Amino acid sequence: MIIIVESGATKTDWCAAAPGMEPVNVKTAGMNLATMSGEAVGTIVSEAMEAFKKAGVTGDVEEIHYYAAGLIVAEGETVPSQAVWLDKVFRGLFPDAGIEYASDLLDAARAVCGHAPGIAAILGTGSNSCFFDGERIVKNVRSAGFILGDEGGGARLGRMFMSDFLKGLVPEPVSGEFARDFEVDYLTVVKNVYRGEAPSRYLGSFAPWILARYDRCEYVKELVDSNFRDFIERALKQYDIAAYPVGVVGGFGYAHREILKKVAEPYGIKFSAIIPAPIEGLVDYHLGRK
């Protein structure tokens, strides 16, 4: 049996899978390996194992694959410095299991490309992309975060809209509707963006409201299209999009996949898959189905 873990700051998705077995998925709190104590990490892992037990999952765990945003595995390193506490917990529970640590970008690439070469993209609150040769990531156009990059993501769309709103560039009636629906006076916005704990999430939270007006406001339509277009121009075009398909992972890209496809069409981009989450593809990858 294998266990696949996708860890974020707010939630962690766990999946137990084996040949001939229906995958079992559970959720726990997020694990911030950079700040959490070993005790806190151990508690979350124990919760996941208890949930698997209640779901009837039994058998020896042969492999654990742990993926997380921002997880950096140096060349020749098996356990990244951020994961030392977690590794001790895993080793205590599964001393004979093979344990792999990897980034969410490799997670996405394996999910949409399998063992074949291709271009993988993450389009969620943020964005990222890479060229995957079927085994490893060989090229990565840096995301650069929501201030300097993250083109195509929800936070970047929120940042573009908010900048226009504060400068009086959003047309009516959209501007008035936005002011009515949110607390967006200048000082509140500046505080949340420049001093808030999660500015990217704050800006991304406006994306659904903006997208709801896509079909009835030319300004919104062009803003949304330009966000995806910038991702193509500034990231995807740095890969060989004529020779390789593009696979997309992420709730934002999946929810607005028809817009993404329309914007990408003039570039000749062929999408291999656009999926909300990578777990199903990862199960197939690790069980040798793709």
Tens-digit pLDDT profile for residues 24-68? 999 898 777 767 777 888 888 899 999 998 888 877 889 999 998
Contact, 42 vs 65, CB < 8 A? no
- Above 90 in pLDDT, residue 132? yes
Question: From the CB of residue 199, how many other CB atoms can be counted at a distance below 10 Å?
Answer: 19
Could you give the CA distance from residue 290 to residue 281 in angstroms, rounded to a whole number?
A: 8
pLDDT for residue 9: 64
pLDDT for residue 249: 93
Average pLDDT (78-82) is: 83
Edge-first strand order for the sheet with 246-249 is: 137-139, 127-132, 118-123, 246-249, 271-275
Average pLDDT score over the chain: 89
Could you give the CA distance from residue 16 to residue 99 in angstroms, rounded to a whole number?
A: 14
- Above 80 in pLDDT, residue 101? yes
pLDDT for residue 89: 87
CA atoms 228, 234, 236, 241: torsion sign: positive
Above pLDDT 70, what percent of the chain?
98
Domains of the chain: 2-112+279-286 (3.30.420.40), 147-226 (1.10.720.160)
pLDDT-based confidence at residue 290 (cuts at 50, 70, 90): low
Beta pairing, strands 2-7 & 11-17: antiparallel
Lowest mean pLDDT among 68-77, 117-126, 242-251, 257-266: 68-77
Average pLDDT (152-171) is: 94
Q: What is the pTM of this model?
A: 0.83
